[in-house]
Structure 1
Amino acid sequence: MIEPDVIIIGGGPAGLAAATEVARSGYTVELVEQRESLGGAIHRQPIEGVAPINQAAGPKARWQALADAFSAARIPVRHASVFLGVDGDGRVLIENRRTGRVEQLCPKAVILATGAVEKVYPRPGWQMAGVSTAGGLQVMMKETGQAPQGRVLLAGSGPLLIAVAAQMARLGNPPVAIIEAGDPVRRIGPALAMLGHAALLREAAGYLSDIYLRRIPWMRGTQFMAIERDGASLQGVVRRRDGSEQRIAVDRIGLHDGIRPNDFGLPNETTEPTSGPLILRAGDCREALGAFAAKADGRRAGRAVVDILSGSRDRAQLDRAIERARTAQATLAALFAPVHGARPLSSLPDETILCRCEGKTVGDLRNLCDRADRLTGREIKHNGRFAMGACQGRFCAANTAALMAEINPDVPAPKPEDLTGRRWPVRPISIAALTGATSQNTENE
């Protein structure tokens, strides 16, 4: 089997655009996707036997254009395959979940397009059963064609809450309410700036019309404080702009506080010829700019790889598209900025769970940070088991590092990588599969 020139990791909009751009330039390319279908989270396809849910015209058209161009390029796809990393000899390791074996590839370049993950700030009770991310609820709807059952509360901040609420309403079960820390209706400056981003406005207008038609309460300028258990139900504790508190009884809660790059454990970018492959990032795993920017950034990364391999450069138009998306995201951030400012993690009660895998609390971290010999992020992990659980810090490392900085502002602020480190394999893998790794390059056999 002939090795491809370029390997793309991730079948979302950035990965598809990057692969198509590379193929258009004449280099051989393969795409690695951990699922059985393409599209990523934003264009998640339904499971077999389920009809796609009705989506807004904009996202539907963007996905169709991406899928058509990718299909026309006839790019091979390794489905059910997980990227493990690049070893010390420059070999790209892929776990084939169908065969249970690890495969080795030696491409000239790798483009990482692993998307984004949701940010969720810790709150008392957020570890309870029935609490998930709002994005997780959205993915479930796209896969199953059904809204989450029971009384659902969406809380946190950001435009995704509006989109999820509208999709729930279209599927017949609108949320009880949307708790929004910001107040975009009163942010006149950022609202006017959004007039320069017509496509985003059209999509938002469609979602907001569903919310108002179904009379879904949109509680703006409201802080989501805690989650309590009341028999079989959950109670969301919210604090209004005037300081008064209210409890809302529900069955499920979807939290969302923004997105960040899904860069956990990824190898660093390498754009100079070395003994290993070139490594570039594309889309939200490079910079979380949302769905509109992912396609442009995927094309940028694909063109950059081609330019390096061929020695040319022609990316000015793509760079301008990404800068425009960066401006749009900055405007959205200002539009949805919390009215009361970002809630400091140090204000959380000691019993608040910080690391859900290991059950470690805010109080546990405070005790470690109160030592006379200030511990580093790595020492916090080893002494307190923060970022030591099954997720290896994917969900707690950023919050742990931020709280460490608040507790001890007189020392250099730690980074999430100080707790997680950067290494391969990126994902857990059995030793049996790893030791049985085989190369698919048979030219010299």
Structure 2
Amino acid sequence: MNAPEVVVVGAGPAGIGAALEAARAGASVVVLDEYPGTGGQYYRQPAPGLEASSDSPLIEHAPDGLARIREAQATGVEFCQDVLVWGAFPDGSLTILAAGKADVIKPLKVIIATGGYERAVAFPGWTLPGVITAGAAQALVKGQGILPGRRILMAGTGPLQMAVAAQVVQAGGQVIGVLEANPFGHLLRSGPRFWGQWARLQEGYRYWRTLRSKGVPLTFGRTVVRAIGTPTLSRVVTAGLDADWRPIPGTEAEVDVDTLCLGFGLVPNTKLARLMGCDLVHDPCRGGLVPVLTDGMETSRPGVFVAGEAAGVAGAKAAEYQGRIAGINAARQMGKVTSTETEGRLQAARRHLGKELCFARALNEVFAVKPGILDLVTDETVICRCEEIAWGRLRRERSEWATTLDAVRSVTRAGFGLCQGTICEPLAAELLARETAKPVADLGSYHIRPPLKPITVGALADLSACLPPPPKRMDH
């Protein structure tokens, strides 16, 4: 692949916004995304051949996304799907995998818009087939028109729960209930923080009305504490929670289900930023580990920008504005446009972004995961799914010298599996922080190495044709 001036990694709202602004300024821009469809989770387009009515969950937000994609294409942006960015190196080059072949590109600017992934909450049985995330259920419904199960229970916290439940029932699925971990009083007291967010409140009301019309109960202050089944999920145990989300003895109840959808918020996907040597800081209100950024969305690594959920969990609208800011500033640095030409668009994006970040902070604080939920983890509860390592082993093998998260990883192999710690890293950090009475930030993070995701040995071998020859040996 010929190296463009700007490479955007991720084709969601942030990536599209960044690509549009950089290309509008005259830069050559390529957007790389590892998934088949453009738009990310928020603008996910239905699979080819799927027909949907105007009120179908299959096309929610999809028309807006398609319009933005076409606008970007009209400015010259090239979207490349099914392309995995799996490595980054000190000279600024990126290694990619496309159609089974590895390649190396070296753009002038890199804009990371890799989004986020769902936060794992562990409890006995959470690894059973049939236990999935709310985002996975949403992807199935919106992208493929496939129901995640026959008898579905939603459990977690935050508005995504209601949104996904409404989309599932609109698609013909049976949702037997939605469990919100926060008590109703907590949400009621937090109401004034969302004053003025009428469009979002109206959207939430629409979801609630859809669920009510289908007889789906919404229960507050309750969650799933155990999943049961052999070999797949057949029932769950739910329990009431106190203010810190610790289960209240005597409130347990069993429910027959074949699918449990969990939604406890998002974690920024910072792996590529970490691999590129960007400085990071731990900010619980933005989802955990986030890159240190300038007002222009540039990292500590010159020429590398981060936008969207990868910069901190703030929602799709904030992601798009962050992407636009990153795209404009990348173009400015290359001399494509002057500050005078772009100042109006930049100030408008910053103004809108400020409002979105205020809303996001309120939302993240109101629906923050409480520490008592960790009480659900027993010594037998698996933390690292890939390597099948339980909490008891992590706790026992934590020696005096293994005081950082990466050292514990080396001792136990937790995080060495196929997902490279995507699922277990935040969970292990929170558990170890509680065990050692240390702040999560003091434990550090997993050391990230390429490849970021599994690739074949054959693809690695292909790289030899892409790399420059080694320097000749000097005879003395």
Provide TM-score, normalisation by structure 1.
0.89
Q: Structure 1 residues 439 and 121, CA, compared in 2 at 3 Å: closer, same or farther?
A: same
What is residue 422 of structure 1 aligned with on the other side? 448
Is the Cα–Cα contact under 8 Å of residues 56 and 203 in structure 1 kept in the other structure? no
Distance 2:306 2:353 in 1: 14
What is residue 356 of structure 1 aligned with on the other side? 385
Q: Which amino acid aligns with 2:420?
A: Q
Tell me how far 1:431 sits from its aligned partner: 3.2
What is residue 411 of structure 2 aligned with on the other side? 383
Is the Cα–Cα contact under 8 Å of residues 402 and 414 in structure 1 kept in the other structure? no
Tell me, yes or no, if structure 1 residue 93 matches structure 2 residue 100. Answer: no
Tell me how far 1:416 sits from its aligned partner: 5.8
What is residue 62 of structure 1 aligned with on the other side? 64
Is the Cα–Cα contact under 8 Å of residues 58 and 143 in structure 2 kept in the other structure? no
Aligned length: 433
Tell me how far 1:95 sits from its aligned partner: 0.9
**CA deviations over 1:23-65 (Å, ceiling 9, x no partner):** 1001111111222320111222222322257149973453244
Tell me how far 1:140 sits from its aligned partner: 0.6
Distance 2:128 2:12 in 1: 31
Tell me how far 1:322 sits from its aligned partner: 2.0
What is residue 262 of structure 1 aligned with on the other side? 269
**CA deviations over 1:389-421 (Å, ceiling 9, x no partner):** 11111100111111111111158854462xx21
Is the Cα–Cα contact under 8 Å of residues 265 and 424 in structure 1 kept in the other structure? no
Tell me how far 1:174 sits from its aligned partner: 3.1
Is the Cα–Cα contact under 8 Å of residues 52 and 145 in structure 1 kept in the other structure? no
What is residue 80 of structure 2 aligned with on the other side? 78
Q: Secondary structure at the match of 1:436?
A: helix
Distance 1:324 1:153 in 2: 34
Q: Which amino acid aligns with 2:392?
A: G
What is residue 304 of structure 2 aligned with on the other side? 279
Is the Cα–Cα contact under 8 Å of residues 34 and 81 in structure 1 kept in the other structure? yes
Distance 2:166 2:97 in 1: 37
Q: Which amino acid aligns with 1:51?
A: E
Name the structure, 1 or 2, with higher relative contact order (CA <8 Å, separation 6+).
1
Tell me how far 1:21 sits from its aligned partner: 0.5
User: Where does 1:239-250 land on structure 2 (aligned, <5 Å)?
Assistant: 239-240=239-240, 243=248, 244-250=251-257
What is residue 288 of structure 1 aligned with on the other side? 313
Q: Which amino acid aligns with 1:30?
A: V
Distance 2:32 2:232 in 1: 42
Tell me how far 1:172 sits from its aligned partner: 1.1
Distance 1:411 1:329 in 2: 23
What is residue 252 of structure 1 aligned with on the other side? 259
Q: Structure 1 residues 24 and 154, CA, compared in 2 at 3 Å: closer, same or farther?
A: same
Deviates more, 1:55-64 or 1:306-315: 55-64
**CA deviations over 1:287-336 (Å, ceiling 9, x no partner):** 11111212111101101211222285433332222221121122223443
The percentage of aligned residue pairs carrying the same residue is 28
Tell me, yes or no, if structure 1 residue 332 matches structure 2 residue 363. Answer: yes
Is the Cα–Cα contact under 8 Å of residues 58 and 145 in structure 2 kept in the other structure? no
Tell me how far 1:280 sits from its aligned partner: 0.7
Tell me, yes or no, if structure 1 residue 323 matches structure 2 residue 361. Answer: no
Tell me how far 1:67 sits from its aligned partner: 2.5
Is the Cα–Cα contact under 8 Å of residues 318 and 356 in structure 2 kept in the other structure? yes
Q: Structure 1 residues 410 and 84, CA, compared in 2 at 3 Å: closer, same or farther?
A: closer
Is the Cα–Cα contact under 8 Å of residues 29 and 76 in structure 2 kept in the other structure? no
* 310, 322, 328: which one aligns with 1:297: 322
Distance 1:289 1:139 in 2: 20
Q: Which amino acid aligns with 1:36?
A: P
Q: Which amino acid aligns with 2:409?
A: K
Q: Secondary structure at the match of 1:69?
A: helix
Tell me how far 1:146 sits from its aligned partner: 3.0
Tell me how far 1:373 sits from its aligned partner: 4.2
**CA deviations over 1:317-374 (Å, ceiling 9, x no partner):** 3222222112112222344356xx43252562211111111111111112123x4445
**CA deviations over 1:236-268 (Å, ceiling 9, x no partner):** 211125841111110111111101111124324
Distance 2:86 2:216 in 1: 43
What is residue 7 of structure 2 aligned with on the other side? 7
Distance 1:248 1:148 in 2: 18
Is the Cα–Cα contact under 8 Å of residues 33 and 82 in structure 1 kept in the other structure? yes
What is residue 27 of structure 1 aligned with on the other side? 27
Q: Structure 1 residues 265 and 76, CA, compared in 2 at 3 Å: closer, same or farther?
A: closer
Q: Structure 1 residues 180 and 304, CA, compared in 2 at 3 Å: closer, same or farther?
A: same
User: Where does 1:94-243 land on structure 2 (aligned, <5 Å)?
Assistant: 94-96=96-98, 98=99, 100-183=100-183, 187-229=187-229, 233-240=233-240, 243=248
Deviates more, 1:16-25 or 1:184-193: 184-193
Q: Structure 1 residues 108 and 382, CA, compared in 2 at 3 Å: closer, same or farther?
A: same
Q: Which amino acid aligns with 1:386?
A: A
Is the Cα–Cα contact under 8 Å of residues 130 and 260 in structure 2 kept in the other structure? yes
Deviates more, 1:134-143 or 1:227-236: 227-236
Q: Structure 1 residues 38 and 185, CA, compared in 2 at 3 Å: closer, same or farther?
A: farther
Distance 1:322 1:120 in 2: 28
Q: Secondary structure at the match of 1:196?
A: coil
Gaps of 5+ in 2: 243-247, 280-293, 469-476
Tell me how far 1:219 sits from its aligned partner: 0.9
User: Where does 1:393-412 land on structure 2 (aligned, <5 Å)?
Assistant: 393-409=421-437
**CA deviations over 1:103-144 (Å, ceiling 9, x no partner):** 221211011111110112111110111111111011011122
What is residue 435 of structure 1 aligned with on the other side? 461
* 328, 331, 334: which one aligns with 1:309: 334
Provide TM-score, normalisation by structure 2.
0.83
Q: Structure 1 residues 326 and 388, CA, compared in 2 at 3 Å: closer, same or farther?
A: same
Distance 1:175 1:119 in 2: 22
Distance 1:171 1:236 in 2: 24
Q: Which amino acid aligns with 1:353?
A: V
Is the Cα–Cα contact under 8 Å of residues 265 and 423 in structure 1 kept in the other structure? no
Is the Cα–Cα contact under 8 Å of residues 58 and 141 in structure 2 kept in the other structure? no
